[in-house]
Structure 1
Amino acid sequence: MPIRRAKRAESLYAAVEGYDLVVTPDAPLASAINRRLDRPHFGTFATTPRRLAAGRREQAEDRRAFLELVTSTDRDWKAVAYAVGNVLQCWEHTGRLDAILEYDAYVDDATREVVAGMRTLRTTSKRLTEYEIDEGRSVAVVGHDQLTALERGVLPESFDRVDLFTDEAFDHPPFHVFESATDVVAALLETVSPSNAENVAVVLDGGGRYSSLVESAFEAADIPFYGGPGFADDPHHRAFVRLLRLCFRGSETTVGDAAPVLSQLGIDVPVADRERRIEAVDGAGAAWLRSFRDAAADRTFAAALDAYATEAGVDLSRLDEELRRLGLADEPVTEDAVDRLAYYLQTYEVPVDADNEGVLLADAKSSAYVDRPVVFHLGMGEAWTHSAPQRPWVDTEAQFDRYVGDFQRLLQSGDRRYYLVQDAAGGEPITPCLYLGDLLDDEFERFSDLDSVEHRRRPRPTGEGFDRQPTGVEPESVETVSQSALNSYVNSPRDYLFDRLLDAPDRERFVEGNLFHDFAEFYVNHPDAVAAADAGDLVDAMLAEAAAFFAADEEPLRRRTYRVGLELITAYLDEAAPESDDFLTPASGRGTNFFADYFDEPVDSPLTERWFEDASLGLKGKIDLVRSPTHLLDYKSGRRKLASQVVGGAATDPPADAPNFQAALYLAYYRSVRPDERLEFTFFHFLEPMADAIAGEADLDDALTTVTYHPVAFDEYVASREAYERLLDGYADCRETFADLGYEAYEEILAPLTFPETTDRGKLRDSAFAARFTDAVDAATAAGVDAEKGVDQAIRELNGARRRAFFREDPDAFESFVGERLDELNERRAGEERFPVDGLGGEPNYRRVDNRDLLLEGDR
């Protein structure tokens, strides 16, 4: 069916102006009709059944009934709330209070108590049940089908019906399609101002993201509004409940957990402290939180609220009144009581006193008519669709018709109306409100399939409306990139961007990792000072530095980890002492060293923590240890990776699922310092042999992973004596075959051949290379040699060498890859395109992102 054209308020008034009483399905429509009155009228003219019966504005009778009943029973609050909701809903749809008792599945002791209790409560539903309109009055009912059974019960025998709709179809305006919710709100702000706020209404999902975005935007722009945040949304009310919950979280509560509370108290929280435990953080804010928590068990809710209000410098008398209505004010603060308070605030809409001035914010699922000249409809997605009550007393078809009728009227509110929507989110189309599917003849999956106007950030030649303009700011170019930044950027450019924009908190793994790195650096410079120190004192110092990140019961495990880690680092450096070399600058000048401060000794060695930055390569980084003139080492506290995993993580076409370019980047730089030399890069995973170290059986080799850079192309390497010697140490048939063949013949056979690029064993075996290699070796070896099997094992061994090492073409490709990424990065920084969520390999590895909550998936 098409969207039916709704009658305007002026038309409705013209149809009912001669009646004594006009009944409407909703209050805003009644108010709109009353505002058109052009003659004196004694008593009520247009009103709703509930206002008519109650003689006042409708109240949230579910909340009122709950407050009356919960204080007179010992039953669980949730059970009472559930029963109240069912009883009132059944009453609404059947017209009788005790009708619910006919539905056995919904009857229990709590339900019976609620029915009995509500017989004496002067609720609006009870007044509706008792009220009858005087038969002597002329009555017009506007939108009779929108009234429920209980509301219709007040109507007299004789009344006239006035339809809400005409027989014409409504030609809806186009949907204005934007790229993001923030763009929608920005477009709204371009039109609304403090001077025209009284003429504007915004219809949105009251519980969705548009609500908070619009409220924040209006507050920032000093645009008055009402109809938005409710009692439970008051920031101090929310902060108080959160503060009470923190009292029962124990010593593991972090500064980040308490940040919303501290913010409302006007206390700035250093970002670096957010993952530290409150117990271990200094500062007035943390001290006050600890004091409040420690005293909570001996306080009543009223006393706790007074303590919070005093510290925040605000008046919270309205919340104090609500605590007293609930019977909680003089109750001790307990975890169960806090849960009950939180449940109540989440379940019921507590009335708030607010000035009805400025922009009207209307909830799409609570409104059917908005009487403002200009109305913006925001979002219009699935959240605008009601969930029909799944109860046996509800006529779902009739209820659906009411919802569709309300939706059609809402779409037509205002003299000028604008539909501002998004077309997609997370790479998936946003589904329009389901009622549109019943009202529009067109087949569609998204808003752009309908009559729509697309708005992009960049101006178009024929652009109209809400397009964005470039800022004209010249961005700074990025000339070099570190391995960690490159890893992040390739995994998810959007996550990389947020890493650059936002301060990051200190994290446990980083603090502990830095402590071990600092120890290793200091030990290289001052082994005698460490040898003379008490190992237990060093561990105590590390524990004190990291204590803010772990609970007290974790200390024994941490102490053992730190002790073993220091022992293994010391053992390795004693066994493989670095060789002196002065090819780098004499001092790095990068950061401080915890143990240098502890011992009051400088660390200034050309072998440790060496910073490099090379704009010609686009690379920068810090080398933990120059193990020898051709050997670099990096300390790792995480799990050990195999050499093949290290090389695989540096893949560029396509990138690995968990890209890690550290080895490739450092070796690419280092070969520019020592060209044409074979280089090695070792990862020392010093905590890997911990279990064996505790048992006294640690083998340092189990902690080392070394990858080699060969300054030749892989094809050159394959034909080299080094590769040939490798085959002589391989599998039995491989050794026998190539020992019989000899190196000169081996080199002659491989010189004209090209090893396939694939690393897949099956494809290698089926390749032309394998066939020619096998035939040539078979022809050049003795009859008793199984050349076919020997060559197969040789290809496997050579392929393994390629998968576990870097060759000349690898850093060549990596350097080109880095150049392409820097060009791409600078284009994105210049605004030529957005930073996408997906990386080069597609969807990011979300275990590797640092800003998961900020990543709106897809192109948003």
Structure 2
Amino acid sequence: MSFPRAKPIDALYEEVAEYDLVVVPDAPLASALNRRIDRPHLGSFAITPRRLAAGRREEAEDRIAFLELVEQTDLDWKRAAYAIGNILQCWEHQGRLDAILEYDEYVDEATRQAVQHIADLETTSRRLTEYRIDDGQDVAVVGADQLTQLERSILPEHYETYDTFGEQEFEQPPFHIFDSSTAIVETVVDAATEETAGDVAVVLDQGSEFSALIESAFEAEDIPFYGGPGFIDQPDHRTFVQLLRAAHGGTDTRVGEIRPLLARLDVSLDVEHDEKRLYELDDRDLNWLVDFCERIDSRTFAEALDRFEDRADCQLETFREELETLGIAGTRATERAVDRLMFYLQSYEVPVDRENEGVLLADAKSAAYVDRPVVFYLGLDEDWTHSAPRRPWVDQDAQYTRNIHQFQLLLQSGTTQYYLVQDAKGGSPVTPCLYFEELLDEEFERFSDLDSETHTRRFDRSGDGFGKESVDATVTEVSTISQSSLGSYVNSPRDHFFGRLVDGPDKDYFKEGNLFHDFAEFYIHHPEFVDEDVIDDTVEYILDATRPFVRSVDEATRRTKYRAGLETITTFFDANRPVDGEFLTSTSQWGQNIFAERFDKPVDSPITERWFENEDLGLKGKIDLIHSPSRLVDHKSGSRKSASRVVKHSALDPPSDTPNFQALLYLTHWRSQYPDQELEFTFFHFLETLDDVVTGEVDLDDTLTTVSYKPQTFAEYARSEAVFDELVADGANDCQKTLSQVDYEDYAAVFDDVALPDTTDSDELIASAFGERLTARMKDRVGDYKYVESGCKQAMRQLTRVRGQTFFEDDLDAFETFVDERLEELNRRRAGEERFPVDGLGGEPNYRYVDNRDLLLEGDR
């Protein structure tokens, strides 16, 4: 993997050493050549056109022009910035200030005003326009194709050019692939010390996560660095900006959205509050923040800054000076004013004083040369690609050439280069910088397709990786598993593992669901107590409990939803009173019931909220309602699914991409209590008919999904005389017509001749040997008529429908084996005998149901 080699700085210096003046496109290259001067030299030697014309350090002329325009005109800030950007860019590429006026589609009153004001400013571009190098000087130009039209305008009539690339090939070092950005940063920090910091440079995209990570890591290790954080990146500046944004975030601002701000204000809240609204949390630690936000419109920026400095115990004099420079220190910090300030800080780089000592942090999109012996390149992904300006005054081909040459030179900076990358993030491959497609004569989609070395925490602790210290630890074996844990484990074992380690925030639907469950349990025990007043009280209670999660504009809708749900629950249980529970052992309830406490009435029946932990089968869970010895009921606030979808999502080999084993698990446990008995598991979706409740046309059947269990194999069931009689009585027309002309023995004989395949696919059953034998026998007994063939197909379709929405003995037997295998596997992984893989039994996980996506890496890493 190679491309043209950049000339070493020493070699390039030897070529240009005898010239009076060397013009270069990049300031770091100029500094590198000047450091190698080995003879007396008067004046500048190597220098960029802008530095030469300005005679001093360049200033950000776009910011200078913007400040002039907002002070001298009443132009909208965004219009002013847009005009300034176009004017300066056109000037750079066309060589004249007024060149923009030749492009009618970009000319308006703001542009004309901006041209007039910029013409009077002492900018570097103006100096470039007016400056010419003395023809009497002996001038060399390095990388002339990297200079813009305006930069080339200062060159004398005669000069010599030198290419930045030689004739040799650059053998690019391999990419070093790491599991995470943190691992990359750790590698760099381990390689640098306070003593060697001056020999190290780090090239990164300053807009990436690496910027903050590397700065924090260097600070923690007391390793000096410079070139990294800008004005707005300074922690207290960034926090003050976050505070202003939060103040105008509205009443829907969530705790999780302002975590960094809360941390700087020393406010600690559990992660369970992340999805709750700031203004609805009753926590005295938040009083200062809420008061600041509520009063923000009445305070000026200076007053708001004073308040923040007092609270955070800091001094932000440079921020105060910038507010005064903008002329807004005494302006009310309204939402519009804050938006304008945010726009300014995001659009322009405010100058900061830096000490040029330590590790150099260079921006991948700004630097072309980095003159340090050791250079680390972090990321090298598609974000390193320049976004070429799409304007009619820009030569796109020339600009692309400049960008790729800059990238090519940057890759070769230093004596030793290390390319530290990630091959995947969040389960998705990382795309290398698009310039590699031009430089490398290889096909690739990710870094691992190229010359690379992988550095990872290897499970077997051999080879590259990170050392681990052995500790004595006793691992407790898991003996039972719930349906939700089993589902997450089957989808992605590693996500299941992280789910046991990482806390998640409370959700509104969890809170709602728990309250509805409590009300259903309470109503089952005290139907005579619940009247309209109790319903009203309960609705308001649920609204109060969920208010931190819900926007105030949605409160009326929520009130309707809650009342509809409660009324559906009462209607259902009025029509379906459960048994008394005398057949059960003593109660084993789960937790407390809020409404029992609220209304001071007990709920101590063993039929509700029944917790079980079946050690023999390895199963555990909570049954919402034991309606009868043969029927379990589960209350659901989500959308209704058909019985066939419930059975489909309980599949074992292969598992569904949305595994859900609740009905199968609960029926398996209940079978152990009541063997040889037909059982039912009913999902009661009490919000399914919300629209119908509002119109007063509720059909309770629309809220129910029932899955049955039959204590026999499917083959035994299908062969039974009861099924035959059902097909004769209730089958489709041709099915009834055909089977009514034969005896049950004719039907049963087919099962004796050919095994019934275990399938839910009717076409597969019809095409099977069984299907052919059934059709042939019926034709033999009834006659070779089209309706006979059609009737047999109808019978087999009805059988597969039953198979697809019913559990049989062999299903529950297979599930018991499946659970044993998963528990054995889970305990091996918990004991450290093997890794928790990302992929589940069905292959790649369904990421819609993954809770810890950011913690998952592809493969076995």
Normalising by structure 1, report the TM-score: 0.91
Instruction: From the superposition, tell whether residues 422 and 116 of structure 1 become closer, same or farther in structure 2 (CA, over 3 Å).
Output: same
Deviation of 1:362 after TM superposition, in Å, equals 1.0
Q: Distance in 2 between matches of 1:71 and 1:542?
A: 54
Partner of 1:321: 321
Q: Match of 1:676, SS?
A: coil
Deviation of 1:803 after TM superposition, in Å, equals 1.4
Q: Distance in 2 between matches of 1:694 and 1:400?
A: 62
Deviation of 1:375 after TM superposition, in Å, equals 0.8
Q: Distance in 2 between matches of 1:148 and 1:126?
A: 15
Instruction: From the superposition, tell whether residues 341 and 825 of structure 1 become closer, same or farther in structure 2 (CA, over 3 Å).
Output: farther
Partner of 1:51: 51
Partner of 2:466: 468
Q: Are residue 768 (structure 1) and residue 769 (structure 2) matched?
A: yes
Q: Distance in 2 between matches of 1:825 and 1:789?
A: 49
Deviation of 1:201 after TM superposition, in Å, equals 0.9
Q: Distance in 2 between matches of 1:302 and 1:458?
A: 54
Whichever residue aligns with residue 804 of structure 1, its letter is Q
Partner of 2:629: 629
Q: Distance in 1 between matches of 2:103 and 2:705?
A: 71
Partner of 2:511: 511
Equivalent residues of 1:204, 1:378 under 8 A apart: yes
Equivalent residues of 1:740, 1:782 under 8 A apart: no
Instruction: From the superposition, tell whether residues 445 and 800 of structure 1 become closer, same or farther in structure 2 (CA, over 3 Å).
Output: closer
Q: Match of 1:3, SS?
A: strand
Deviation of 1:443 after TM superposition, in Å, equals 5.2
Equivalent residues of 1:641, 1:705 under 8 A apart: yes
Instruction: From the superposition, tell whether residues 406 and 783 of structure 1 become closer, same or farther in structure 2 (CA, over 3 Å).
Output: closer
Whichever residue aligns with residue 280 of structure 2, its letter is A
Q: Distance in 1 between matches of 2:784 and 2:459?
A: 77
Partner of 2:333: 333
Q: Match of 1:287, SS?
A: helix
Whichever residue aligns with residue 758 of structure 2, its letter is E
Partner of 1:299: 299
Partner of 2:489: 489
Instruction: From the superposition, tell whether residues 750 and 460 of structure 1 become closer, same or farther in structure 2 (CA, over 3 Å).
Output: closer
Deviation of 1:646 after TM superposition, in Å, equals 1.4
Partner of 2:795: 794
Partner of 1:345: 345
Whichever residue aligns with residue 803 of structure 2, its letter is R
Q: Match of 1:534, SS?
A: helix
Cα deviation 1:504-560 (Å, max 9, x = unaligned):
211111111100111222333444554697332232222222222223443333333
Deviation of 1:681 after TM superposition, in Å, equals 0.9
Q: Distance in 1 between matches of 2:834 and 2:229?
A: 36
Partner of 2:722: 722
Q: Match of 1:716, SS?
A: helix
Q: Are residue 311 (structure 1) and residue 307 (structure 2) matched?
A: no
Deviation of 1:6 after TM superposition, in Å, equals 2.8
Q: Match of 1:506, SS?
A: coil
Q: Are residue 814 (structure 1) and residue 815 (structure 2) matched?
A: yes
Whichever residue aligns with residue 24 of structure 1, its letter is V
Equivalent residues of 1:83, 1:110 under 8 A apart: yes
Q: Match of 1:671, SS?
A: helix
Q: Are residue 170 (structure 1) and residue 170 (structure 2) matched?
A: yes
Q: Are residue 578 (structure 1) and residue 542 (structure 2) matched?
A: no
Partner of 2:642: 642
Partner of 1:755: 756
Q: Match of 2:617, SS?
A: coil
Matches within 5 A, 1:111-126: 111-126=111-126
Deviation of 1:104 after TM superposition, in Å, equals 3.2
Equivalent residues of 1:218, 1:225 under 8 A apart: yes
Q: Match of 2:191, SS?
A: coil
Q: Distance in 1 between matches of 2:150 and 2:833?
A: 60
Whichever residue aligns with residue 568 of structure 2, its letter is L
Partner of 1:407: 407
Q: Distance in 2 between matches of 1:439 and 1:783?
A: 73
Matches within 5 A, 1:449-460: 449-458=449-458
Equivalent residues of 1:459, 1:468 under 8 A apart: no
Deviation of 1:450 after TM superposition, in Å, equals 4.0
Equivalent residues of 2:422, 2:430 under 8 A apart: yes
Q: Are residue 108 (structure 1) and residue 108 (structure 2) matched?
A: yes
Q: Distance in 1 between matches of 2:856 and 2:442?
A: 33
Cα deviation 1:87-133 (Å, max 9, x = unaligned):
21222223322222233333332222222111110011112223344
Deviation of 1:634 after TM superposition, in Å, equals 0.6
Deviation of 1:578 after TM superposition, in Å, equals 2.6
Q: Distance in 1 between matches of 2:703 and 2:442?
A: 65
Partner of 1:592: 592
Matches within 5 A, 1:702-741: 702-727=702-727, 728-735=729-736, 737-741=738-742
Deviation of 1:851 after TM superposition, in Å, equals 4.4
Deviation of 1:679 after TM superposition, in Å, equals 1.5
Q: Percent identity?
A: 57
Instruction: From the superposition, tell whether residues 156 and 687 of structure 1 become closer, same or farther in structure 2 (CA, over 3 Å).
Output: closer
Partner of 2:682: 682
Gaps of 5+ in 2: none
Whichever residue aligns with residue 409 of structure 2, its letter is R
Deviation of 1:429 after TM superposition, in Å, equals 5.5
Instruction: From the superposition, tell whether residues 361 and 837 of structure 1 become closer, same or farther in structure 2 (CA, over 3 Å).
Output: same
Deviation of 1:462 after TM superposition, in Å, equals 9.1
Whichever residue aligns with residue 190 of structure 2, its letter is E
Equivalent residues of 1:427, 1:859 under 8 A apart: no
Normalising by structure 2, report the TM-score: 0.91
Cα deviation 1:683-724 (Å, max 9, x = unaligned):
111223344444554333332221111111100111224323
Deviation of 1:850 after TM superposition, in Å, equals 3.7
Q: Are residue 184 (structure 1) and residue 179 (structure 2) matched?
A: no
Partner of 2:380: 380
Equivalent residues of 1:519, 1:595 under 8 A apart: yes
Q: Distance in 2 between matches of 1:688 and 1:726?
A: 31
Equivalent residues of 1:458, 1:470 under 8 A apart: no
Deviation of 1:437 after TM superposition, in Å, equals 3.7
Q: Distance in 2 between matches of 1:140 and 1:433?
A: 32
Q: Match of 2:776, SS?
A: helix
Q: Match of 1:641, SS?
A: coil
Matches within 5 A, 1:380-459: 380-424=380-424, 430-442=430-442, 444-458=444-458
Q: Distance in 2 between matches of 1:691 and 1:28?
A: 68
Partner of 1:540: 540
Partner of 2:76: 76
Deviation of 1:658 after TM superposition, in Å, equals 2.6
Deviation of 1:568 after TM superposition, in Å, equals 2.9
Equivalent residues of 2:2, 2:172 under 8 A apart: no
Deviation of 1:740 after TM superposition, in Å, equals 4.9
Q: Match of 1:622, SS?
A: strand
Equivalent residues of 2:178, 2:420 under 8 A apart: yes
Partner of 2:614: 614
Q: Distance in 2 between matches of 1:139 and 1:782?
A: 106
Equivalent residues of 1:262, 1:285 under 8 A apart: no
Equivalent residues of 2:492, 2:837 under 8 A apart: yes
Q: Distance in 2 between matches of 1:224 and 1:339?
A: 35
Q: Distance in 1 between matches of 2:744 and 2:667?
A: 30
Whichever residue aligns with residue 416 of structure 2, its letter is R
Partner of 2:499: 499
Instruction: From the superposition, tell whether residues 575 and 143 of structure 1 become closer, same or farther in structure 2 (CA, over 3 Å).
Output: closer
Q: Match of 1:261, SS?
A: helix
Q: Match of 1:520, SS?
A: helix
Deviation of 1:361 after TM superposition, in Å, equals 1.4
Equivalent residues of 2:678, 2:708 under 8 A apart: yes
Deviation of 1:85 after TM superposition, in Å, equals 1.6
CA RMSD for the aligned pairs?
A: 3.3
Deviates more, 1:66-75 or 1:236-245: 236-245
Deviation of 1:640 after TM superposition, in Å, equals 2.1
Partner of 1:91: 91
Equivalent residues of 2:459, 2:835 under 8 A apart: no
Q: Match of 1:297, SS?
A: helix
Instruction: From the superposition, tell whether residues 335 and 132 of structure 1 become closer, same or farther in structure 2 (CA, over 3 Å).
Output: same
Equivalent residues of 2:94, 2:150 under 8 A apart: yes
Deviation of 1:598 after TM superposition, in Å, equals 1.0
Q: Distance in 2 between matches of 1:471 and 1:677?
A: 55
Deviates more, 1:568-577 or 1:850-859: 850-859
Q: Match of 1:250, SS?
A: coil
Q: Distance in 1 between matches of 2:409 and 2:696?
A: 80
Gaps of 5+ in 1: none
Q: Distance in 1 between matches of 2:833 and 2:121?
A: 65
Whichever residue aligns with residue 357 of structure 1, its letter is E
